[in-house]
Amino acid sequence: MPIDVVVVGGGAMGLATAWWLAPQARVVLLERFAAGHHRGASHGDERIYRHLHVGRELTEMAIAADEGWARLERESGRVLRHQVGCVEQLEPADMETRAAAASKYGLAAEWVSAADAAVRWPGMRFGHDVLYQPDGGWVHASATLSALAELAVAGGAELRYEIPVESIDVVGDRARVVAGSTTYDADVVVVTAGAWTEQLVPDVPLPPLLTTEEHVYFFEPRQPLPTFLHRLECTRYGTPGPTGLYKVAEHHTGTVTTADTRTFAPDPDRQSRMEAYVAEWLPALEPAAVSTRTCLYTSTPTHAFHLARTGPIVVGTGFSGQGFKHTPEVARRLATLALS
């Protein structure tokens, strides 16, 4: 007999978990805000897609996620991944580690000298040799969320938006979720609530979680660019997307905040710094940002993902600006924990 599962949080991880679970369980997903809201970490149109990471676990998870991405594209009839390549200009030791991982797992990766890179990608500047992942690129994030929601519903899941969860409690060997005037009793609750996680499950063991408000900027391209990672005084990244604009941002430099006190306010000094960076390193882009927005990172101290079950409560959190590309595999693992 199917079990009852409540999924709390309707971003990428929650929707994907509902999609995985729907054929095997009675699933209700509760989301505090409207579908596609901009208060968390899953909104926006584009995310970088690549396989190689410094950590073995994230590389293996990214490889495993390919099967889920292929299934999602096949079942939804949408092209979600766009392989425009990913150029990494990082510390030599990090690139060596990634290159070794490419060799170990049979992934495509190519060392390109700074001189050759300048010829190959004239819209970028290079301070040293780079590592190129030809199968990297970007994921259409908003289309992914739409596809996940449609397929979860088609599989039998019920998605309920603008339903704030007030409490999650363990009652015997089951879980009770109170949301407004409705109480849900379930075999399992899966919490994928990002920056709201700690306040929803204060009694569940979690690693320390840090929430920061990060800023992203959009520029008009003069010519096409691949995605990139660049370590200078901090790590910056860039990606094209479906709107025709090119997104550039700093990674893990945001202001510490909470889910409910973040400001959404632009940062003129940060924008000036980003525009100066673009002018120096990305001549393919017009150096004046045409728009900006903020998003939330929720990170563990090691930036590792936290996926764990405690009694009838499963938690997935700590995706720290790296999670989206791993979404199908993270969701498969959360679904497995829920069904175990």
How far apart, in whole angstroms, are the C-alpha atoms of residue 123 and residue 166? 50
- Pairing mode, strands 227-231 and 86-89: parallel
d(CA 99, CA 108): 9
Q: What is the pLDDT of residues 20-35, one digit of tens each?
A: 999 999 999 999 999 9
Q: Which residues contact 143 (CB under 8 A, 6 or more apart)?
A: 45, 78, 80, 242
pLDDT of amino acid 97:
95
Give the mean model confidence (pLDDT) for residues 180-202.
Answer: 96
Statement: 1-82+137-207+302-340 belongs to CATH 3.50.50.60: yes
Domain ranges in the chain? 1-82+137-207+302-340
Contact 43, 192 (CB under 8 A): no
* CB-based contacts of 78, cutoff 8 Å, min separation 6: 140, 143, 147
pLDDT digits (tens, 9 = 90+) for 55-94: 899 999 999 999 999 999 999 999 999 999 999 999 999 9
Q: For 146-158, what is the mean pLDDT?
A: 98
Integer Cα distance of 168 and 201 in angstroms: 7
> pTM value?
0.97
- Write down the mean pLDDT value for the chain: 96
Do the beta carbons of residue 289 and residue 271 sit within 8 Å? yes
Question: What would the pLDDT profile of 231-263 be if each residue is shown by its tens digit?
Answer: 999 999 999 999 999 999 999 999 999 999 999
User: What residues form DSSP beta bridges with 37?
Assistant: none
Taking only Cα atoms into account, the Rg of the chain, rounded to an integer number of angstroms, comes to: 20
- Write the CB contacts of 218 (distance below 8 Å, at least 6 apart in sequence): 243, 245, 246, 247, 248, 289, 290, 291, 292
Res 1: pLDDT: 37
Q: Residue 2: which pLDDT band, with cuts at 50, 70 and 90?
A: low
**pLDDT in the model for residue 42:** 95
Q: Is the pLDDT of residue 228 over 70?
A: yes
